[in-house]
């Protein structure tokens, strides 16, 4: 009898199990609840939404909206649930969290091809086709065994990510390319500050409002390299100027002098369309990040594709160890999905579960894997997390910055995003999954 294991009944695991079962394959879905819960879990239902009831924007000319529209092409279980228990939220898709989880739980438990097994899984059956979707709070013996599968030190437990901006939104009359002491060529974009600009930025930074930290997100011993920029700044006015904003080895070509301070941006992807703010791990609220970091010369009109985050988050080093079908390069029977695979967000996790599930079926049936083109949102997202050129990997959510540009370039952002969405959805019209 053909059979596939899925470990974890969060959004990703449920989507994977549902996708597999709908292909006529028997699924053993392992879920540790109700025997054991993480600190984030409140009830016994599957696909529990923990921190928010919002699944982000619905409009198709947004990254979140396009992602959901693509997921509908795969008959996403999570979107079926969301549509059945949505609540008013303007242009966003928001849900009644309890009804959402109940809907998915009932669909999974009543599916004739899915057997739910309530137990804590510690050992991974590497000889059987298995989708691992155990979520951002994976720990203990299972985490140790996942780490062994992932070549030792390739499992992280804390997400300390800096904001990412689009290159095209930078003001190049104020920034310049260059590495310290001329080493590395044009590896960095530098945002120079004079003393007055730095003082204004510094004071706004240390007085900005931080996001609340959930108990399960607390990291008691954050090492120096992951220190939030705002906490480091509070050690003294020159603390970050002698740290991540140090200007040594750099000269502003406009003045031929060394700036008072410099914020460096480093390319985030091979195409060079996205740049992250080096050393700017932060726990500031998202609107505060936009307000304060836009004070940096050259970033006044920066378009943020991802804001900085610092939270508990188990994830693997996917660019180095996962294939494009989300299977382990070292063991193609093992697939990863959800936040553990390096995607960020509820719908992103669910989307990765769909693709991992379909590719587990392809592995079982020895057919071609489902690998979407990178001009689709799902294809771009999964392409990013499995791109070997990505270094210092941190989880990524859906955004238009990871999708290849349209040519000729469309200047108006709303028109450009709509064109990108139409290109993707036109492709889906000709496909059947």
Per-residue model confidence (pLDDT) at position 125: 86
DSSP string for 32-51: -TTT---TT--SS-SS---S
Per-residue pLDDT band for 107 (boundaries 50, 70, 90) equals very high
DSSP, collapsed to helix, strand or coil, labels residue 140 as helix
Q: What is the mean pLDDT of residues 388-417?
A: 90
Reported as a single tens digit per residue, the pLDDT across 23-59 is 999 999 999 988 887 766 678 899 998 767 789 999 9
- Residue 175 near residue 297, CB atoms below 8 Å: yes
Per-residue model confidence (pLDDT) at position 148: 86
Q: Give bridge partners of residue 102 from the DSSP assignment.
A: none
- The two tokens of residue 65 are 């909206």
- Residue 134 near residue 8, CB atoms below 8 Å: yes
Whether the per-residue pLDDT at 220 is higher than 70: the answer is no
Between CA 154 and CA 246, with CA 274 as vertex, the angle to 5 degrees is 80
Per-residue model confidence (pLDDT) at position 211: 79
φ/ψ of residue 192, rounded to 5: -80, 145
- The two tokens of residue 311 are 């939270």
Give me the domains of the chain, ranges plus CATH numbers: 3-158+312-429 (3.50.50.60), 164-307 (2.40.30)
Per-residue model confidence (pLDDT) at position 358: 98
> For residue 271, how many other CB atoms are within 10 A of its CB?
16
Reported as a single tens digit per residue, the pLDDT across 333-367 is 999 999 999 999 999 999 999 999 999 999 999 99
Per-residue model confidence (pLDDT) at position 40: 67
What one-character DSSP code corresponds to residue 346? H
Cα–Cα distance measured from residue 89 to residue 104, given in angstroms and rounded to the nearest whole number: 21
DSSP, collapsed to helix, strand or coil, labels residue 151 as coil
């Amino acid at each position: 009898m053909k059979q596939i294991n899925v470990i974890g009944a969060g959004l990703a695991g449920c989507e994977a199990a549902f996708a597999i079962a709908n292909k006529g394959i028997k699924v053993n879905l392992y879920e540790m609840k109700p025997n054991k819960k993480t600190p984030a879990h409140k009830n016994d239902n599957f696909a529990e939404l923990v921190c928010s009831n919002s699944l982000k924007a619905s409009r198709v000319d947004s990254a979140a909206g396009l992602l959901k529209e693509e997921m509908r092409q795969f008959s996403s279980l999570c979107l079926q649930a969301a549509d059945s228990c949505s609540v008013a939220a303007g242009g966003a898709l928001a849900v009644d969290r309890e009804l959402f989880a109940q809907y998915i739980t009932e669909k999974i438990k009543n599916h004739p091809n899915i057997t739910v097994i309530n137990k804590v899984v510690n050992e991974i059956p590497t000889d059987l086709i298995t989708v691992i979707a155990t979520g951002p709070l994976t720990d203990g013996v299972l985490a140790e065994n996942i780490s062994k599968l992932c070549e030792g030190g390739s499992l992280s437990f804390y997400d300390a990510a800096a904001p990412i901006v689009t290159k095209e939104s930078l003001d190049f009359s104020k920034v310049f390319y260059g590495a310290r002491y001329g080493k590395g060529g044009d590896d960095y974009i530098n945002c120079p500050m004079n003393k007055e600009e730095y003082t204004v930025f510094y004071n706004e930074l240390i007085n900005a409002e931080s996001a609340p930290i959930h108990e399960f997100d607390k990291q008691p011993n954050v090492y120096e390299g992951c220190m939030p920029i705002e906490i480091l700044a509070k050690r003294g006015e020159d603390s970050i100027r002698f740290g991540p904003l140090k200007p040594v080895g750099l000269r502003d070509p406009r003045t031929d002098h060394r700036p008072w301070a410099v914020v460096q941006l480093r390319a985030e992807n091979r195409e060079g369309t996205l740049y992250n703010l080096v050393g700017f791990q932060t726990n500031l609220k998202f609107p505060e990040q936009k307000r304060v970091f836009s004070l940096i010369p050259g970033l006044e009109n920066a378009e943020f594709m991802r804001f900085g985050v610092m939270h508990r988050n188990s994830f693997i080093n996917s660019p180095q160890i996962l294939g494009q079908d989300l299977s382990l390069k070292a063991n193609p029977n093992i697939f990863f999905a959800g936040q553990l695979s390096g995607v960020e967000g509820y719908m992103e996790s669910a989307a990765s579960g769909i693709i991992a599930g379909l590719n587990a079926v392809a592995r079982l049936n020895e057919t071609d894997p489902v690998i979407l083109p990178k001009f689709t949102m799902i294809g771009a997202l999964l392409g990013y997390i499995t791109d070997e050129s990505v270094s210092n990997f941190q989880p990524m959510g859906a955004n238009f910055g990871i999708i290849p540009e349209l040519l000729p370039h469309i200047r108006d952002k709303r028109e450009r995003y709509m064109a990108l969405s139409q290109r993707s959805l036109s492709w889906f019209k000709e496909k059947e999954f």
